[in-house]
Structure 1
């Protein structure tokens, strides 16, 4: 009888140990899932204002009313106010690049700033301290990390040609890694651009540039003028 009782106790103890190990492992697994989800959805965790105030013609502290003068063009107006032609057209629902003297326009004057987080693989589009939109991006892998620092957008190209390893890849080439837009930094060889590998967005896999989904790169391209400041941080 005593032997049977001892055996039963041992079995119960062993069962209890396995139960604890199982539950602990299960909790750890769920914790890992939560952490993974948090990392991949980093862009969603930041509070943003949205692009509405930028794209609409509503009154804003960052917009002015402007009357087109004789000899004006959208290019001249964009340069005068430090904005872009596409943004002027979107704010004013213009269907063409033609403007006429006396025409009233609503011009965005807010100064954009871009903040790229390498740890989170996100790009924030900011106006002063306001986060307007957050994009999920890819930054450089360990051996070709995106250098942290403060930069300026100095070139913008639509459907850029990619020069790599002595080869030239024209726009649309299946190996042209720049995608549909290029926003070059004042650091030779580095920029913000589209991609031919959308499945890799959100990971540190690039050769040092900041990659975006093509549609996101096109959206950002239309908003920011040359001269926009870019900060890349490790955290």
Structure 2
């Protein structure tokens, strides 16, 4: 799938929110879980590098791999962790939210992780 040119994902660690933009227009905002203090979600500019439906296990129903190896945005089998610092550095979302996000972005979509 080709990237949708103006789409961008912003992940705000401090507020534990994922925002999807089309240009400067906010399309959606979702709660998420981020890395624990010992295993923080890395700040920086990345891109969606892979998309997987039903990756299994703790990754819920969707996986959006980042250009930073071993990190991604994914669903969860622990929905009570959303809104907390709970992961080993990945970004967790409710399965229905990650499914919606998955359908709106392509490989190559920029992902910016800020404090």
Which whole-Å deviations, capped at 9, do the CAs of 1:103-125 have from their partners, x for residues lacking one? xxxxxxx5210000000000000
**Residue 48 of structure 2 corresponds to which residue in structure 1?**
153
Q: Determine which structure has the larger strand proportion and give its number.
A: 2
Per the TM alignment, residue 206 of structure 1 is displaced from its structure 2 partner at its CA by: 0.7
Alignment of 1:100-119 (within 5 A): 111-119=6-14
> How far, CA to CA, are the matches of 2:89 and 2:58 in structure 1?
12
Structure having greater relative contact order (Cα 8 Å, sep ≥ 6): 2
Per the TM alignment, residue 128 of structure 1 is displaced from its structure 2 partner at its CA by: 1.5
Q: Does 1:220 align with 2:115?
A: no
> How far, CA to CA, are the matches of 1:185 and 1:127 in structure 2?
19
**Residue 233 of structure 1 corresponds to which residue in structure 2?**
114
Extract unaligned runs of 5+ from structure 1: 1-77, 84-109, 161-170
Q: Does 1:202 align with 2:83?
A: yes
**What number of residue pairs does the alignment pair up?**
115
Q: Does 1:133 align with 2:28?
A: yes
Q: Determine which structure has the larger helix proportion and give its number.
A: 1
SS of match in other structure, 1:177:
helix
SS of match in other structure, 1:199:
helix
**Residue 189 of structure 1 corresponds to which residue in structure 2?**
70
Per the TM alignment, residue 155 of structure 1 is displaced from its structure 2 partner at its CA by: 0.3
Which whole-Å deviations, capped at 9, do the CAs of 1:122-147 have from their partners, x for residues lacking one? 00001121111100000001000000
**Residue 38 of structure 2 corresponds to which residue in structure 1?**
143
| TM, length-normalised to structure 2 | 0.95
Q: Which runs of 4+ in 1 moved over 4 A?
A: none
